[in-house]
Amino acid sequence: VEVAKQDVAVAQKKLNTAIAQADFSAREALRFDELYKGGVVSRQVFEDKKRQAETERLNVEENRQDVAAKQQQVESNRSELATKQQTVVQRQANLELVLSGPYPDDIQAARRELEAAKATLKRQQQQLKYDREQLQRTQLLMPIDGYLVTSYLDQKVGSYLKQGNTFAVAEDDRNIRGEVRVAEYNIGEFNLGASVELKLMAYPNRPFTAKVVSIEPAASDQHSSSTTAKEP
């Protein structure tokens, strides 16, 4: 701002000098006009003085514009300085606030928010644990590898099973035990541990290899054992 003020002062001095010079040239032009009319000086001399007076007048206008521009620059610098001073004051206030530390009420409020967040997190963790336990209860696992032989399981969709209720029956297909009736006169062809070949009515073209594990006097009507899958 001080530099701009000095520029304004210099421009003002130049303007004052230009005004004085223009005033002098204007008076000289009037005087030479009278001399020209009286035949004392030539027209050329009169025209030169007239052009000089006009040049000095234009110089005054240029200097006035220069002074106005520099004054405007001073005002702009003054406004910018005021803005920067306000910024400095605001930052100083912020610095003092930081140095003074948080208010006790703010600290207590932050602590309460932290405790509330911890309590919410604990509840959500407990809910997640409960949901996982419930999800595990929705899974029915077979205790063996085999096939489900219970029909129409799709009709049980949406039904509720109490603990201990039978959901489906599964057969262990790793070892299938069967009873075959053999005529008494052919019984001598079978020995314990002997390998035999069977054909089922359902698979007439597919032979099955089996092993004799027992020979009874008469075959029963019971089929192979089965295993039930129950709700855990």
Q: Which residues 6+ apart lie within 8 Å of 207 measured at CB?
A: 197, 198, 199
Q: Indicate the domain borders of the chain.
A: 2-100, 103-139, 146-230
What is the longest distance spanned by two Cα atoms in the chain?
Answer: 177
221 vs 10, higher pLDDT:
10
Torsion of CA 210, 214, 216, 218, to 10 degrees: -20
Query: How wide is the angle at C-alpha 118 spanned by C-alphas 112 and 119, nearest 5°?
Result: 90
pLDDT one-digit tens code per residue, 123-166: 998 998 888 887 777 777 777 777 788 888 788 777 777 777 88
The pLDDT of 201-224, averaged and rounded, is 76
pLDDT above 90: percentage of residues in the chain: 0
User: Is the pLDDT assigned to residue 231 strictly greater than 60?
Assistant: no
pLDDT digits 0-9 by tens, 177-204: 778 888 888 888 888 888 888 888 888 8
Q: How far apart are CA 201 and CA 49, in angstroms?
A: 141
